[in-house]
Amino acid sequence: MKIRNLMLQVPRFLLVLLVIGLTLGGATGCKSKKKIAREQAAAEYASRIEQAKKDLNAILNDESTWTLKEKEERLAAIKSWNLQDEEVLRLIDLVEDKLARERADAERKAEEERLKKAEDERVKSKASKYTSIENQLLSIAAAPDVATANAKIAQTLQLFATPDAPVLIIISQAGGFNDYDRPTTIRRYLEYLKDQKVYNNAIEQVKYDASGKITELELIKK
């Protein structure tokens, strides 16, 4: 009877041992997984610190081929990692200053290019506007003989309200102010072109009367 009872109790004992083993094994397994997760997180954190230092130094030392936009995006990504490393934080400050200067320089150059383009367009538009008058003046200077030059002078004078219409020649510009050569009249200026056979000015401005005749011609030395 005692032997039978003992045999009945053995499976129960083994079951208890099995449950205890599983419990202890599970607890050990959970601890092991947490440890592995911590180690992986620490390794990833260290890797990001090293990558951040590498990228930030590359930007500081101009060792990358990144555009300014790409540099700014890279800096933003590194800052989003929220790395609490003194060296990384120091490098971030330096890169922020550097990129701010680069951005200001890029904006200044862009504005200079915009202004230059606008000025080129203005000059082009003005040149196109006065092409016919320019051609008249050039034809007088390039006339092959006196008779041809006189005929072209007479033709050109028809564009003006009077042969005594003033001609102003700008010899220099500074600070928004013009410095002019001695004033002359259109008749005298056309005679000058005939004699010198050289036209080395450009039309800066033309004033007209109500009938469309030129009342004043402003030139600038090329």
Considering the entire predicted model, what is its pTM?
Answer: 0.48
Q: Cα dihedral angle (115, 118, 120, 121), rounded to 10 degrees?
A: 180
Q: Single out the residue of 58, 107, 100, 103 nearest to residue 78, CA to CA.
A: 58
What SS3 state is found at 203? strand
- Whether 147 and 194 have beta carbons less than 8 Å apart is answered as no
Q: Single out the residue of 48, 44, 34 nearest to residue 79, CA to CA.
A: 48
Per-residue pLDDT of the chain (222 residues; tens, 9 = 90+): 444 444 444 455 555 555 555 555 555 556 687 888 788 888 898 999 999 999 999 999 999 999 999 999 999 999 999 999 999 999 999 999 999 999 999 999 999 999 998 888 877 766 668 888 999 999 999 999 999 999 999 999 999 999 999 999 999 988 878 999 999 999 999 999 999 999 999 999 999 999 999 999 999 998
**In angstroms, what CA-CA distances link 130 with 46, 123, 145?**
70, 11, 25
What the block records as the tokens of 181 is 């050569």
